[in-house]
Structure 1
Amino acid sequence: MKLIIFFLGISTFCFSQKFSFIYETKYKLNSEKPDEVNSEKMILDLKNNMSIFRDSLDRKSDSVRLNNGTGRFKMGVENQLYVKKNLAQKRIEKVITYLGTDYLLPVEDALNWNISSEQKVIGNYQSQKAETIYGGRTWTAWFTTELPFSDGPYIFSGLPGLIVSIQDSNNDYSFNLIEVQKGNNIFDARKKTVKIDWKKYETLARSYFNDPFDILSKGWKTVTFTDPKGKTMDISVKVKEMQHHILQENNPIELDHKINY
């Protein structure tokens, strides 16, 4: 009983403060080029059972938006890893920003964790193994009760401690904790959202694929592109180039919602 009270005391103390957990995130967007790996730092900001997971540029953009700036401009819909969680209510939501609008996509898949007795040290933390299935992928996670937060990178949460490492069985996506910071602001700038489901998400993605420069044509009277030699290019050529690029990024984290254009 004393151990339980001690753990709850730590949890209450920790959740009353602000923490930022920085993860090295690696992912392969092109399944036909398995050696082509993208890498970036992503941040899990946590405060009072609320958390936001996003890359460093989105975090800076949110700070700018809170100070009445325009923030970061994004053209595409797919492969956005921005996630908000309410741990107390077990609510997980992806935020998709497209054409100046923030769309809220609830993640309703239950994360059924299979916790193993296997343990190992990762970094400075004694960690324990757990597995789950999400997005058409099998995931192996390592969590530590030394950081008593039932949270982790991206949509992953619900374990008896912070997830310090998680990777899918295809080794396409991985998140590894590399730094813990205390006292950072959470910068929650995306509160006015339009709620969508996966069907609407696909509609938005297809709209972008069909006309990736639609926002440019709405913003200016004429849009022109030039080749490396300065010669004017027809916009249809640029559209085909962009569509080819979208088709190459054919390995989304949610494989069960992959869009076949």
Structure 2
Amino acid sequence: MKKNKFLTKCFFFYVIILFNNIYAQNKLFKYDLEYKSNQKKDSIILKKMVLDIKDVSISIFRTEQQKISDSLIAFTGLGSERDMTFESQFYVKKDMSKDEILKSIETIFREIFFIKIDEKFDWEILPEKNKIVNFNVQKAKINYGGRSWTAWFTTEIPIQDGPYVFKGLPGLIVKISDDKGNYNFNLTEIKNGNDKVYYRNKGLDLTWDQYKKLLENYYTDPFARIKSMGIPVKKDDGHGGMVSVDMKQESDGLRKMIRENNNPIELNHKIDYK
């Protein structure tokens, strides 16, 4: 895992001053997510993530592109960036007033689903302290999703939140990683947020069992709906023309990609694709 990336000490000193007026406006925290989509390989995927804090009680964690897409949808009805697989989606909404955490996924047809996270966040706060850039941080541990996690949080930022589903420590989570080195979240930047925060707020609720069934059906025939519509599918031939898509070849390729990138963050809900 490559070295953590943080801003300069001068920047973070400025950030601490900003937090003297923390409740006056929305905040935005940027994180680097480095993870292994295949735990048997050394290759690392880097995703630029953002945590929007809206009106103190609502937070949205997603990629930078998903944040842009949510804004486009709000204004035009059209968004961007759709993942072809579900295991690589990390969109989470937290409502602190309801003590509710929702993991959201989106299909290639822009269907939105929400899964309620019911696991208890029983943190073990340890006496060990450290300094990340010029934040004083303290160590904590937790088990979530079939993984053991170590976090470093700072009470200098009085927000009991963090990346992805993680929350409930007496300060912002600056860094959190699992003990196998498969997932690593690092805070990289803090900014004042926009007055308006656009995010997914409509969709169908799923249980984990229903989510599993959705993924299994998708793996069995990824383009079933497209084929059922009888619409001819074409793609760029690389020379300015269009050629028909071999749907069997495309499906086989996607199933192979799903099998080879099957290291979900919720390891306890992993599907053994054949």
Flag whether TM exceeds 0.5 (same fold). yes
1:101-143 CA-to-partner distances (Å, cap 9, x unmatched) read: 1111000000110001110001221000000000000000000
Distance in structure 2 (CA, Å) of the matches to 1:27 and 1:56? 17
Structure 1 residues 119 and 95, CA gap change in structure 2 (3 angstroms): same
TM-score for both structures, normalised by structure 2:
0.84
> Which residue of structure 1 lines up, in the alignment, with residue 15 of structure 2?
none
> Which residue of structure 2 lines up, in the alignment, with residue 135 of structure 1?
145
Matching residue within 77, 81, 86 for 1:77 = 86
Structure 1 residues 211 and 87, CA gap change in structure 2 (3 angstroms): same
Matched, 1:37 2:37: no
> Which residue of structure 2 lines up, in the alignment, with residue 100 of structure 1?
110
Alignment check: 8 A CA contact 1:78 1:205 kept: no
Deviation (angstroms), 1:234? 3.4
Distance in structure 2 (CA, Å) of the matches to 1:171 and 1:76? 22
> Which residue of structure 2 lines up, in the alignment, with residue 235 of structure 1?
247
Q: Could you tell me which amino acid in structure 1 is paired with residue 272 of structure 2?
A: N
Alignment check: 8 A CA contact 1:87 1:151 kept: no
Q: Could you tell me which amino acid in structure 1 is paired with residue 93 of structure 2?
A: K
Q: Could you tell me which amino acid in structure 1 is paired with residue 257 of structure 2?
A: H
Distance in structure 1 (CA, Å) of the matches to 2:136 and 2:196? 27
Deviation (angstroms), 1:203? 1.2
Alignment check: 8 A CA contact 2:234 2:243 kept: no
Matching residue within 95, 103, 110 for 1:86 = 95
Alignment check: 8 A CA contact 1:226 1:232 kept: no
Structure 1 residues 71 and 116, CA gap change in structure 2 (3 angstroms): same
TM-score for both structures, normalised by structure 1:
0.88
Deviation (angstroms), 1:11? 9.1
The residue correspondences of 1:156-235 to structure 2 (distance < 5 A) are: 156-185=166-195, 187-217=197-227, 221-224=231-234, 234-235=246-247
Moved more, 94-103 or 124-133: 94-103
Deviation (angstroms), 1:95? 0.8
> Which residue of structure 1 lines up, in the alignment, with residue 3 of structure 2?
none
> Which residue of structure 2 lines up, in the alignment, with residue 64 of structure 1?
72
> Which residue of structure 1 lines up, in the alignment, with residue 256 of structure 2?
244
Alignment check: 8 A CA contact 2:232 2:244 kept: no
Q: Could you tell me which amino acid in structure 1 is paired with residue 113 of structure 2?
A: Y
Aligned residues: CA RMSD: 2.4
For these two proteins, the number of residue pairs brought into alignment is 251
Moved more, 223-232 or 51-60: 223-232
Distance in structure 2 (CA, Å) of the matches to 1:233 and 1:191? 35
Structure 1 residues 60 and 220, CA gap change in structure 2 (3 angstroms): farther
Alignment check: 8 A CA contact 1:135 1:254 kept: yes
Alignment check: 8 A CA contact 2:233 2:245 kept: no
> Which residue of structure 1 lines up, in the alignment, with residue 135 of structure 2?
125
Structure 1 residues without counterparts, runs of 5 or longer: 1-9
Moved more, 51-60 or 97-106: 97-106
1:149-177 CA-to-partner distances (Å, cap 9, x unmatched) read: 00000000000000000000000001000
Distance in structure 2 (CA, Å) of the matches to 1:131 and 1:108? 18
1:58-108 CA-to-partner distances (Å, cap 9, x unmatched) read: 000000011033112343322210000012322111011112211110000
